[in-house]
Amino acid sequence: MALQSLDIKARSATTTPMPAARQTTEVAKLIDISKCIGCKACQVACMEWNDLRDEIGYNVGVYDNPADLSAESWTLMRFAEVEPQPGKLEWLIRKDGCMHCADPGCLKACPSPGAIVQYSNGIVDFHEENCIGCGYCITGCPFNIPRLSKKDSKVYKCTLCSDRVAVGMEPACIKACPTGALVFGSKQDMIEHAEERITDLKERGFENAGLYDPKGVGGTHVMYVLQHADQPELYSGLPKDPHISPLVSLWKGVTKPLASFGLGLIVLAGFFHYVTEGPKEVEEEETDA
């Protein structure tokens, strides 16, 4: 087995059970959007720890820089100017990146054994050496996170610094955050911490403040404290009720084992038909007179 802290709980394209004798503590990153000042220290820390240097892009007219996630940019501040109530402008800054779903659509869609794994602490990780570059994980993800590299045709995304977490450290972005908007710990602790923050926000007039831990994907291991939890779309299109697309579930659910079984049945049916009814042979007498 690998490190105990990286025991694998689920593995792509694998139909047999994973070692399940022990359960490590579920971890979570909590992003308190009400405390974020948009400094991008988390982006820099992510680049630094993971040794990533994205291509230098162009200003597209907003603060978002780079403009989108990429194979070399695994986290990104998205800036939204919105008016939740008329005349009341708010600048909502959301740190975007992998949500580390408990029910990961990417892992479900992946056809390559062991290219995507979920550790028992909840982190969903891509093992690029097993990735075949088909892009199926992109169709599976409800948050539009994985990016296919133009250099090597493999997909990349936030690892939640699984290498750091494995040895008892917090992710690089957490360490860099100057305001305490990012915190990391056991999922239970993070939920409790979020509750305190939500109580505080409600006292300050954000009556719809709440925790974003969407049930549609089984909960996530990256959670947000939102001032307007009733309208997550305000935060640069954070989905209100994310779930694995029914098209993907239909494609990857029971359909494929059933279809494979069906193909086997056709072969067997042919064989037994031959055994019982026999071939169509033209009688000798029919040869041309």
13 is a contact residue toward other proteins (CB under 8 A) = yes
Q: How far is the CB of 276 from other proteins (least distance, A)?
A: 10
Q: Which is nearer to other proteins, 29 or 108 (CB)?
A: 108
Task: Provide, rounded to whole angstroms, the least separation between the CB of residue 137 and other proteins.
Answer: 11
Whether the Cβ atoms of residue 230 and residue 37 lie closer than 8 Å to each other? no
Judged by CB under 8 A, the stretch of 22-30, 117-125, 163-171, 274-282 that binds other proteins is 274-282
Nearer to other proteins, 124 or 248 (CB): 248
Smallest distance, other proteins to C-beta of residue 169, A = 33
What amino acid occupies position 243? H
SS3 243: coil
- Give yes or no for residue 37 binding other proteins (CB under 8 A): no
| CA–CA separation, 4 and 21 (whole Å) | 11
Q: Which residue has the tokens 């992998």?
A: 98
Work out how close the CB of 258 gets to other proteins at its nearest, in angstroms, rounded to a whole number. 10
Q: Which of 5, 139, 208, 231 is close enough to bind other proteins by CB under 8 A? A: 139
**253 touches other proteins (CB under 8 A):** no
* Identified binder of other proteins from the candidate list 22, 168, 205, 287, rule CB under 8 A: 287
Residues 6+ away with beta carbon under 8 Å from 43: 73, 75, 76, 77, 173
Tell me whether the omega of the peptide bond preceding residue 66 falls within 30 degrees of 0, making it cis: yes
Considering the rule CB under 8 A, would residue 168 count as an interface residue with other proteins?
no
Q: Identify the helix (H) or strand (E) that includes residue 199.
A: helix 187-203
* DSSP per-residue string spanning 58-127: ---SSS-SSSS-BTTB--EEEEEEEEEETTEEEEEEEEES---BSS-HHHHH--STTSEEEETTS-EEE-
Among 46, 148, 198, 238, binds other proteins (CB under 8 A): 148
Q: Does 50 bind other proteins (CB under 8 A)?
A: no
Q: Is 236 in the site for other proteins (CB under 8 A)?
A: no
**By the rule CB under 8 A, 257 interacts with other proteins:** yes
Report how far Cα 143 is from the mean position of its chain's Cα atoms. 7
Residue choice 50, 65, 112, 236 for contact with other proteins (CB under 8 A):
112
**Residue number with CB closer to other proteins (200 or 241):** 241
- Structure letter (DSSP) for residue 237: S
d(CA 287, CA 78): 80
Residues in contact with other proteins by the rule CB under 8 A: 13-15, 109, 111-113, 130, 132-136, 138-139, 144, 148, 150, 153, 245, 247-248, 250-251, 255-257, 259-260, 262-263, 266-267, 270, 273-274, 277-283, 286-288
